[in-house]
Structure formats: C-alpha cells, structure tokens
Amino acid sequence: MAGGFARGAGARGVVVVEGRLVLRGMSGPVAGRVWEVRSVARVGRFEGADIHVDDSSVSRLHAEFRLTALGWRLVDLGSTNGTVVNGAKVGVAQWPLRKRDVIGIGGATIEVAELREDSDPAPSGSKASGQDELGLFQGINVWVEATTRSGLHAALVDVAREREKPGADNPMLMALLQASRHLVHLDREEDFLQSVLEDAAATLRAQGGAIVLAEGEPPRLRPRLQVERPGAPGRPRAYSQHLAERVFSTGRSALCRTLGEDPGLAGLASVTEGNMASILCVLLRTPRGSLGVLHLDRGSGESPFGPADLAFADALAAQLSAGIEGVQLVRGQREAFFETVAVLGQVIELRDAYTGGHTMRVTGYAVRLGEALGLSAADRETLRLGAPLHDIGKIGISDAILRKQGALDPAEQALMRSHTVMGDQILRSHPGLEKVAPIARSHHERHDGAGYPDGLSGHRVPLLARVVAVVDAFDALTTDRPYRTRMTVGEAMTVLSRESGRQFDPEILGAFLSMQPETSVNP
C-alpha cells in the first residue's frame, strides 16, 4: 500500500477526502503486478519509488498518482519521455483519472482497476491534516486545494466531467469558451481583464470580484481590477486582502463556504463591510510561477459556493493566467522593441557630432506633447516609436555633409533634405514600422506649405509629423550647432512663437509652449 489519507485544510465543517486507487500492471516490466494507493504513489526507475519500473526509457521519478480534494490525479514529474493516458500525452498537467484509464509510462502499461474518492465533513472540533501548514485562521471553514497549478487542460476536463452529472450548470463551459475568445484582446490588457472578470462574476452569480496581481520585487499584491453586480451597494474593497495574501503565499486556492460562522474571517473589515458570506479565492499561476489571485464572493442572502464552482473558477483561472502571462510577454517584447529603436536612433546620430542625445530628447518632448494634446494611447505609442527614427534617412547622407562646419550650399541642402524621403522608404520597407513612416517623411513640412519634401500645408501634414516638427525645432534651437551656439529656453520659445501659423500648427505649438519644456527630458 502506498501513502495515507489526503485531507482538506481546516477544522469545523471542512471537507475531508479519503480514497482508494487500485492499479494493475498490464504489460512491460510491470505486467501482473497490483498496487493499492491511498493518497500518493510515485512511479519511476528509482528503486525506492512506490511503483518501480525497471525500464531505461522511464525517468528516475517519472510520475505521481495523487489524491486531491477534487479526486485522483496523475501528474507527470517532468519526465524525459512523458506520460500517456488513453493514448494522449499529459505533459506536466494534473490529469483526472477514471476507472479503466490506461496509463503508459515508458514500456510499461498500467490500468486503473478500481477508483474511490469520498468527501465527508470532518467531525466538529477535529483537526484535519495540513491545517498547521496553511496557518490560515483558527477554526476557519475553508477548503483549500492547489488545483490551479494543474493548468488549463486538466481544469477543463474537471469542468466537462462535472457537467456530465445530473443538474450540473451548462453555462460554465460556455463561459470558458467565452474566456478563450477574450484571449484575442491581449494587446488591450484592461479590456481582457475586464471581460474575463465580468464573465466569471456573472457565471458564478457573484456579487463582486477582483483580480489581484503581484507586482515588484519582492512581489506584493495590488488590486488590478474590481467589479460589482449592477445595483449592488458600493464597497470600500471587493476582496479580502488577508485571504488573497494567504492564497498567494501558500500557493493554494481557497473555497470558503460559510464565513458567517468563522470569527477569523468574519471579523475582517473587508468581509463585514462587503457583506461577504462565501468566497472563492483562486490562485493565478503558470508553470513559471504565481501571478496573483482571482477573488469572487457571494452575499449573506445567497447560497454558498461549492466544489463545482471551485472547479470552474480553477479552469477560468488557468485561462486568465495564460492571458496575463501573454500580456506580460507582449509588454516585455514591446519594451525591448522600443529600446532597440531608441538605440538605433542614437547610433544614427553618432555620425553627427552636433546632435548627441537629440533623438532621446525629441522622443521625450514628443511623448509629453502627445499627452498634453490628449492624443490616444495608440498615437502616443506611435510617437514613442517614430520620434527616435524621424532622422533615420540621414543614414544615407555622407559624412562630408553631416559634419560640415558652416552653412550648406544649395546642392548640399538638397541632399540633406532628401533624408526625409529616404527615411520614409526605409521605414515602409520594414513590417511594423510602416505606421511611423509619415513622421520621417513629413516632419520638415510647414503649416504654410513652404516645407519639404511634398509642400503639404495645414492639416494635410500628418498629425504626428506636426508634433515632431515642433519638438525637433525646439531641440535644434537649444543645442549647439556648427553654425551657431545654443539658445536659452526662453529665447527658443520666443522664436517658435513667431512661427505660429507659419511653420508650426498653432494648436500644437500652443500646447507645447504651455508645457514649459526643459532641456533635459527622458522619454
């Protein structure tokens, strides 16, 4: 016999899980052998394993049969060749087991001959295993299980099997499918989180919910988004900070059925002021670590959450975790891209001894001016990307012209002006940079139509090019050039003011003058 009993955490009214799993070796080195498991059994080539498989294709510790609060699970322990159930490779997810399932581990085949899992309330006053380890609250009525770490696939199987039971809620699978659709909005993080949280609260008939994410190092939980049922009274906070921190620190999700009888939680301000009578607090986790928690609650006039609700919330948390990690990955890639672009702009200006730091300053001014003008987030992002590259066409201008001390003759001026067209061509030839090409081409156009290369005027000049035109001129005036020394900020502002309606868009210039720009700005 392998293992003892698995019990949920808590004391009064808590769920206690006891079970029996009988496994029979069907083929390979385990043929004819039988094992009886009570809580956990490890399988591997290691001679000390509960189920020893003498096969070179089997890892030393290959897989584990485990009794959880939601039933028997098979867990691959990161084996080299993987574990198979009924012909499907399970990876590192917790796989729900059923009678007659056939498990393939290397050259061995094992069948689930018998499977039993019982859930009974623990006797009043008893102390279930794991209570001290969790250290949540004395006497709390909480069922805690680390199901979120199993991943999306196993969680979906749980919900699908729960739906097969008579009277099971059909909307749960539909809500999970809807959550999958929300994954297409990873580029709009707030929309993604809002949609998933609202769907979760509606499906589980919660009076409120919150997504609380870990930030910083060391990680600290911060509320990212909160929702409440329409018509519900406003609450100071739609989640229990204390419970959220416990779930995050222990790595175990919590199903709190009846908080009203538990003084440990009932006395918390967030619980009493929020009229919380039952709480689901589910860990948000991927194989790479914990991200935060999903918190949902019901009021005193509603039925408490149950195991089926926990299974659904766990599956949804797996989707949400994947989406959050995707958002973080996209954000990281975007930041790396912006940094690369900024470095490229700085490399280009190294050829011009008189424009050191120009691209960085212009980018900083442009982003601030975009905010002052109330431009959309998308336009501000385009400015952040395009401003460092506004002079990229200078890569095709000879050093003799770029580094010439003194005024350029007409022929040299014509060549210098061609950097706008060359920049446009360079950017349009690279996917992802086409949207910033108008900045490179048109940042030397004038409001009165006397600019270059196309002689555009007024609002025919692209908006973001008009923004860069103002800040580019300001930086040129306040830095040393071959033909003159720098101006003070006040002198430069006076010069710019004279060009309102002639060289510059009056509205954009007015917003810039109101910013009181400094000569050291970071993007």
140 & 96 share domain: no
65 & 196 share domain: no
Based on DSSP, count helices (H) and strands (E) in the chain, helices before strands.
17, 18
Q: Is the pLDDT of residue 467 over 90?
A: yes
Average pLDDT, integer, range 15-44: 84
C-alpha distance across the termini of the chain, in Å:
65
Q: What is the DSSP string of 4-16?
A: --EE-S-STT-EE
Among candidate residues 94, 125, 156, the one where a domain is terminated: 125
Q: Which amino acid is at 329?
A: L
Among candidate residues 332, 362, 396, the one where a domain is terminated: 332
Nearest residue to 67 (alpha-carbon basis) of 113, 17, 16, 114: 17
Q: What is the pLDDT of residue 349?
A: 65
Residue 454 contacts residue 438 (beta carbons within 8 Å): no
Q: What is the pLDDT of residue 196?
A: 82
What six digits make up the tokens of 109?
């085949």
401 & 324 share domain: no
Residue 462, classed as helix, strand or coil, is coil
Residue 481's domain is classified under what CATH number?
1.10.3210.10
Residue 82 contacts residue 90 (beta carbons within 8 Å): yes
Confidence band, pLDDT 50/70/90 cuts, at residue 132: very low
Residue 408 contacts residue 416 (beta carbons within 8 Å): yes
Q: Is the pLDDT of residue 443 over 60?
A: yes
Residue 91's domain is classified under what CATH number?
2.60.200.20
Q: How many CB atoms lie within 10 A of CB 481?
A: 13
Average pLDDT, integer, range 486-510: 94
**Residue 343 belongs to some domain of the structure:** no
Residue 293's domain is classified under what CATH number?
3.30.450.40
By DSSP bridging, strand 142-145 and strand 253-256 are antiparallel
Q: Residue 211 pairs with which residues in a beta bridge?
A: 225, 294
Average pLDDT, integer, range 311-328: 80
Q: Which of 45-54, 268-277, 369-378 has the lowest mean pLDDT?
A: 268-277
Confidence band, pLDDT 50/70/90 cuts, at residue 497: very high
Q: How far is CA 317 from CA 94, 307, 336, 449, in A?
A: 15, 15, 28, 56
Q: Is the pLDDT of residue 444 over 90?
A: yes
**Residue 37 belongs to some domain of the structure:** yes
50 half-sphere exposure, CB direction, 13 A CA radius: 19
Q: What is the pLDDT of residue 278?
A: 87
**Residue 225 belongs to some domain of the structure:** yes
370 & 480 share domain: yes
The residue ranges of DSSP E strands in 90-215, in sequence order, are 94-96, 102-105, 108-121, 142-145, 208-215
282 & 142 share domain: yes
Confidence band, pLDDT 50/70/90 cuts, at residue 496: very high
Q: Which of 49-58, 145-154, 237-246 has the lowest mean pLDDT?
A: 145-154
300 & 419 share domain: no
- Which has more confidence, 477 or 173? 477
Q: What is the pLDDT of residue 493?
A: 93
Q: Is the pLDDT of residue 235 over 80?
A: no
Mean pLDDT score of the chain: 77
- Which has more confidence, 129 or 157? 157
Q: How far is CA 418 from CA 410, 441, 463, in A?
A: 12, 9, 21
Q: What is the pLDDT of residue 92?
A: 57
Sign of CA dihedral 27, 33, 38, 40: negative
Q: Tally the domains of the chain.
A: 3
Confidence band, pLDDT 50/70/90 cuts, at residue 188: low
Q: Which of 43-57, 82-96, 345-359, 453-467 has the lowest mean pLDDT?
A: 345-359
182 & 324 share domain: yes
Q: pLDDT per residue over 89-119, tens digit each?
A: 876 557 889 899 999 999 999 999 998 765 4
Residue 60 contacts residue 44 (beta carbons within 8 Å): yes
323 & 362 share domain: no
Q: What is the pLDDT of residue 148?
A: 36
Among candidate residues 332, 363, 388, the one where a domain is terminated: 332
Q: What is the pLDDT of residue 316?
A: 80
Q: What is the pLDDT of residue 141?
A: 37
Q: What is the pLDDT of residue 511?
A: 95
Residue 2 contacts residue 51 (beta carbons within 8 Å): yes
Query: What residues contact 255, with CB distance under 8 A and at least 6 apart?
Result: 142, 143, 144, 145, 280, 305, 306, 307, 309, 310
- Which has more confidence, 512 or 345? 512
**Residue 377 belongs to some domain of the structure:** yes
39 is in which domain, residue-wise? 1-125
What whole-number percentage of the chain has pLDDT above 90? 32
Q: Does the predicted model carry a pTM greater than 0.75?
A: no
Q: What is the pLDDT of residue 146?
A: 37
Average pLDDT, integer, range 484-506: 92
Q: pLDDT per residue over 255-296, tens digit each?
A: 888 775 556 676 777 777 777 888 898 999 887 788 999 999
Whole-angstrom distance, CA of residue 80 vs CA of residue 106: 10
**Residue 312 belongs to some domain of the structure:** yes
In terms of average pLDDT, the best of 7-21, 150-164, 255-269 is 255-269
Q: Which of 138-152, 232-246, 486-500 has the lowest mean pLDDT?
A: 138-152
Whole-angstrom distance, CA of residue 428 vs CA of residue 271: 56
Confidence band, pLDDT 50/70/90 cuts, at residue 483: low
Q: What is the pLDDT of residue 272?
A: 75
Q: How far is CA 185 from CA 177, 322, 327, 378, 503, in A?
A: 14, 13, 9, 15, 41
Whole-angstrom distance, CA of residue 18 vs CA of residue 8: 10
Q: Is the pLDDT of residue 514 over 60?
A: yes
410 & 497 share domain: yes
Q: Which of 180-189, 192-201, 370-379 has the lowest mean pLDDT?
A: 180-189
Whole-angstrom distance, CA of residue 323 vs CA of residue 224: 14
269 & 215 share domain: yes
Average pLDDT, integer, range 305-328: 81
Q: What is the pLDDT of residue 182?
A: 42
21 & 47 share domain: yes
92 & 154 share domain: no
What whole-number percentage of the chain has pLDDT above 70? 74
Q: What is the DSSP string of 439-450?
A: HHHHTT--TTS-
Q: Which amino acid is at 125?
A: G
Q: What is the pLDDT of residue 56?
A: 93
Confidence band, pLDDT 50/70/90 cuts, at residue 26: very high
Q: Residue 103 pairs with which residues in a beta bridge?
A: 85, 110
**Residue 271 belongs to some domain of the structure:** yes
Query: What residues contact 33, with CB distance under 8 A and at least 6 apart?
Result: 24, 25
Confidence band, pLDDT 50/70/90 cuts, at residue 183: very low
